[in-house]
Every structure is written in structure tokens, then in C-alpha cells.
Amino acid sequence: MVGTGSRAGDGRFSGFRVNTEDVPRLPAYVARYVLEDPRRRPYLALWTSYTWDAGDRVAMAMSAEPEGEYVRIGMPWTSGGVGSGYAHGHGGRVLVVRRPIHGGSLVTLWRCPSCARPVRFLYFHRLTNWVLVMAGPACSRCQRLRWSSQGRRIPPFGHAMGPLPRRPWDPAAVVSSPAVLEAQSPELARFLAIPGRHRQ
């Protein structure tokens, strides 16, 4: 993610930053699931923590339901780490657009609520004044986020090792009913069943 610092002598970014890989992201395929489901049912997206065996297993959860050509996103709930509790007021509708690609098919994209650009991912954390906070859905640029490879000088040893693999934080499950969640991941279903854990 993007930071609030300035540029170093070599012109590269210098200062506090948070990388996009360090926060959950909502891929556009979730919008496709929601809008193309003939049942018009709401979906639940779940992100697990990086350390599956350490503490809470669900890091973030949110609902997504169809509303015309929009997807209404429920207020995210988080279990700590990158925020905690409910992000009150940070849900909302996001327009879904489709763009032609090579071969004649269409790709489903979000339209960023902040800058109106078609994007593949939405983020719910924003870097402001050296602090990472929960925010309304927007693209990585509007949330002031960077990829880990952006704006950093790579030493010669790093070049010799080749590029490091990116590990974006995508949903661990996207389900349309509690029964589906129970079948796919009983541990997550039991966690969300704890009173007060989730109220979407």
C-alpha cells in the first residue's frame, strides 16, 4: 500500500507503507457469483488469518447481495489484526461493469466508488496519516495502497534470486448459504455461529 512519506535520493518511495498483500481484497469474481446466481441470494465472503492455527480463524467477513447491476456489500466484520469489530458505515453499493476482452468474451469488474475506474479488486482498508483504518470499498490507488514490489530498491542479491511470489489476501470461501459453508468448512461455520461474531 501507499505510504505518506516522500521520495529518497534515488527517486524511489521512502517512508511508512502498507502493502496490498497485507490486507484482505474482494475480487470481482464475487460480483459475478452474486449477479449471475438465478436465485438472487446474498453471498458471504470469508477471509482467514495468515496464521491458521493461531487465534481466530476468520480474519474478516462480509455479505454481498444483488441489487440490479450493483452489488450491495454489507459492513465488514473483522476479528483483529487489520482492524476489529464492525466497520460501521463502510458498506454500500458498488456498480459492476463488464468489459470485452480478446476472444470475444466479457470480463466482470468492479467500478471503484471513488475514482470510477474499472478494477479487479476492492479493498476495505485505507492508509491515512500513518494509520491503517477501515474504510469504504475502493481500489488500491484510492486507498493509498502499494504492491510490495512498488517503489523499493531491490539490491543486487535480490535480483539474482529472482522475483518473490506475491501472496494476495483473497477470500478463503465465498458461499451462498450457511449449509454450503458448513459443508465446505465446518470450522469456519462454527466460528461464525458464536453469538456476537457475525450479524450480517
Q: Where are the beta strands (DSSP E) in the chain?
A: 6-7, 13-14, 25-27, 43-48, 58-67, 70-73, 77-79, 84-86, 92-100, 106-111, 118-119, 121-128, 131-138, 173-175
Q: Which residue ranges make up each domain of the chain?
A: 25-146+168-187
Bridge partners, residue 109, by sequence: 97
Do 29 and 50 meet the contact criterion of CB atoms below 8 Å apart? no
Do 46 and 171 meet the contact criterion of CB atoms below 8 Å apart? yes
Q: Which three cell numbers stand for residue 21?
A: 498483500
Cell 490507488 found at: 141
pLDDT tens digit sequence for 99-116: 998 888 899 999 999 999
Q: Strand 70-73 relative to strand 84-86: parallel, antiparallel, unpaired? A: unpaired
Q: Which of 15, 42, 16 is nearest to 31 (CA)?
A: 42
Q: For residues 133 and 124, what is the distance between their CA atoms, to the nearest angstrom?
A: 8
Encode the chain (200 residues) as per-residue pLDDT tens digits.
Answer: 344 455 555 555 656 677 788 889 999 999 999 999 998 888 888 888 765 444 446 778 888 999 999 999 987 777 654 444 444 446 789 999 999 988 888 999 999 999 999 999 999 998 887 788 888 899 999 998 887 666 656 666 655 665 555 678 898 888 887 677 677 667 666 655 543 444 33
Q: For residues 59 and 93, what is the distance between their CA atoms, to the nearest angstrom?
A: 22
Question: How many helices (H) and strands (E) are present in the chain, helices listed first?
Answer: 4, 14
